[in-house]
Amino acid sequence: MRKYQQTHKVAAAAAAAATENIQVQPLGASKRPLLPLPLPGGGPVMPALPRGLFLGLLVTRPGIFPMEFGCCFFALNCLCVLVLLETAAAQSSKGSQCRCPQHATCINGTHCTCNDGFATWSGQKYFNDPLEICDDVNECVSPVSIFCGKDADCVNTDGSYHCTCVPGYAFPSGEETFRNATMNNCQDVNECAPSMNISCGQNADCVNTNGGYHCACNPGYALPSGKETFPNATMNNCQDVNECAPPIRISCGQNADCVNTEGSYHCTCSPGYALPSGEGTFPNATMNNCQEISFPSWTPPSEVSQGFLNQLRFITSKFKNASAQESITEFLNDIVELLESSRDLEHLPLEARLQVATYLLSGSEQVLRALAQTMPNGPMVFPALRGTELSMNVMEKPTGSVEVGRSHSKMRLNWNLAWKPGGSEKAVVGLFSTHKMKKLLTNAPLVLEPETKAALQQMNEARVEGGIPVLLSAVSTAFLSNKDTGNLSSPVTFTFSHPNVSCEPPEVICAFWQCNNGSGHWATTGCKKVGCKGSSTTCNCTHLSSFAILMAQYDVEDWTLSVITQVGLGVSLVCLLLCILTFLLCRPIQGSRTTIHLHLCLCLFVGSAVFLAGTANSSQGQVGLRCRLVAGLLHYCFLAAFCWMCLEGLELYFLVVRVFPGPGLRTRWLCLLGYGTPALIVAISAAVNSQGYGRPRYCWLSLENGFIWSFLGPVTLIIAFNAFIFVITVWKLTQKFSEINPDMKKLKKTRMLTFTAIAQLCVLGCTWIFGLFLFGPENHVLAYIFTILNCVQGCFLFLLHCLLNKKVREEYRRWACIVTKSKYNEFSTSTTSQSRALRPSLESGM
């Protein structure tokens, strides 16, 4: 115990001596890792000791730890002091150079000074105290407080400092540190740039801020909590805002409805209304221009078409009470019923029918386009209804190609033709096909392109006039949301189904309906046939309208037939004129039969003259007043000719078969029957169907609705009646020739009359048997036969009734003698007067 106490005293004395000039601070108050200790007696500064060893000196105070711990720390302190003393003694033996603490520099070997960025605890610049410490100076706090400028922070370092941009800012050059505010170029970092790969999740956008960023829902979306921002994608809960419901409830104006969409909304016109521009949506009430869907305004050409227009307007008036799909279905049903029930349309003049067809096609296109704008997205096919089909496709901002259509026709095109950026977001493509337009488009003219016409003329080696089209396929009306379809950037492909026909050109053609001043006609400009397989034809067109496949019958001028017609009819007219003069001036043959022959020749003369003047219709397929008058005059003249032939048969019957002798029909009754009967037939025909007179190619009776029978029926009856009369006449003549005492002179005369009547009937009847088929489909053989027979009619009548008649021949001789004698008498008189004038001269010696 005594030994421990002595040791404790010695260590305490040594510790007191060693720590005489040490300034102790609380633990943790300094960042100094080492603690330098001075040697006793003011010798050289000893090396710095680890702070862990020096801590033992701080726990020697009595009362801090129990006795056992105090003894241990005391022994440790003594050991440290002994080690320091031995080290100092060793260093003192090596020389007298000063020893400085860490972060200090020895000056002149006599004293120390702290390096830049360090300072002593005492604040002295120069020191030789072995216990002095050079501690780091924090330039970023008072009293130094280095200012780094805006959006930057000062960062203290061991013995120095630097400036850095605060989070969210950086140097554009990429440097991370700088010295002071003059070098500050901190700029905001755009965390929302693509290179940063910041994602805020679906329906949200990154929003850059000064020194940071946040996420916000896209317009049309919002957080259910009502907050406007959130930090990152994990906190995303953006949901669609229904702008059309309370509390927002967007107003779109009159006759319009608000339609909520994902992230937005738009306004659409209410059922039965549409925008005149053709767009399906508009943004707000200020852009509202919804107008009632109806056929465009039109001035009907007749009362019948006015009734048709009223029915169309009634159809569109029902759109207000139904959805778009119901309205389209109802529209198709009403159009089909209207075309099927409006029989009066068939009897309209061609020009009026073409106007109605043009109005119906263009109006249907406009109505269907307007209704389709309010249809939901996707392809739609409406049920086929009695030869009528409709298919469409509605998309928003579409790309690629699209095909619509069904069994009648199909259409394939690029979506960019229907939708253009900057316009309505919804694009519409539709195809409406119907077979019910044939009654309106019958005999519609076809205008050929100059190239097509030149090719036809080269092929036929003759002049080609406009063709008369026959509809082979359904009439298909194409409509797009884009109204500007006059010159498309890429062609549209159509495929039409039709009856199996020959695909040899130029009969099957691709045509479209060309509107012109309220009317229209078929045309081929911009459309060409690219394929044909017998029952289907493919066409490419660079514009849109109403399209169809036509079978065209072209009028190819036959120069030979034209010459035969003109020369032959000219000769026939001369012969008929001779017959007329003969029957008027030849007295020996005057009688009822001569009267009949005279009027027969008059009718044929007028009819042939009109025929020679021209039966071709040159009005581009439209039947005008001139053509109707020509057709009516031909109808009357040829009917009258057959009526006079019938009267000749009736007169022959009275001559041979009648029981009671006496004169035949009087002249006034003959004229009444010969001219009144055809006039009555023509009047009735014109009253029933005035449009039956005239065709697009020829001025003759129309084949439609059996109107040709107004001529064919009476002619057939007359031929049958005359044939019956001639059979009875021949039978009676045979009986009379077998009598016991027949009057041979009278019988031979009657036989001759019967023979001439039968021959006359055969020539005229055969001519018009071929003539009935002449105005049908083109047939060169029938055309030549009819032309030849028609040309020989006048020659045949002149030969039969004039040259073969003995009395007429004698009369011709008498006329010839009179003419010859008159010329001879003039010559004789002239010669005698000259002789008498010469006699005095001779007698006078001249």
DSSP letter at 39 equals P
Contact 417, 436 (CB under 8 A): no
Judge if pTM exceeds 0.85: no
Backbone dihedral region of 152: left (phi > 0), alpha (psi from -120 to 50 degrees) or beta? beta
Q: What is the 3-state secondary structure (H, E, C) of 294-361?
A: CCCCCCCCCHHHHHHHHHHHHHHHHHHHCCHHHHHHHHHHHHHHHHHHCHHHHHCCHHHHHHHHHHHH
Distance CA 398, CA 396 (A): 5
- Stretch 144-156: mean pLDDT, rounded? 90
Q: Which two tokens stand for residue 757?
A: 């009547």
Token reading at 764: 């005229």
Domains and CATH numbers, the chain: 2-136 (no CATH), 152-188 (2.10.25.10), 194-240 (2.10.25.10), 256-291 (2.10.25.10), 293-556 (2.60.220.50), 579-804 (1.20.1070.10)
The closest of 511, 574, 505 to 539, measured between CA atoms, is: 511
Helix axis angle, 350-372 relative to 303-317, nearest 10°? 10
pLDDT class for 314, splitting at 50, 70, 90?
Answer: confident
DSSP three-state, residue 47: strand
CA distance 576 to 601: 6
Most confident region among 79-83, 599-603, 821-825 by mean pLDDT: 599-603
Q: Are 128 and 111 in contact (CB under 8 A)?
A: yes
More confident: 613 or 25: 613
What is the tens place of the pLDDT at every residue in 163-174?
A: 999 998 999 888
Digit-coded pLDDT (tens) for 369-408: 888 877 888 899 888 788 899 999 998 888 899 999 988 8
Closest by CA position to 439, among listed 513, 516, 344, 546: 344
pLDDT over 90 percentage in the chain: 21
pLDDT band at 818 (very low <50, low <70, confident <90, very high): confident
Nearest to 732 by CA among 657, 664, 649: 657
Please, are residues 681 and 714 in contact by the beta-carbon 8 Å criterion? yes
Per-residue pLDDT at 3:
41
Between helices 67-94 and 51-58, what is the axis angle to 10°?
130
SS3 (DSSP) at 656: helix
627-679 pLDDT, tens digit each: 889 999 999 999 999 899 888 878 877 776 664 455 567 888 889 999 999 99
Does the pLDDT value for residue 20 go beyond 50? no
- Strands 388-396 and 426-434, by their bridges, are antiparallel
Average pLDDT score over the chain:
77
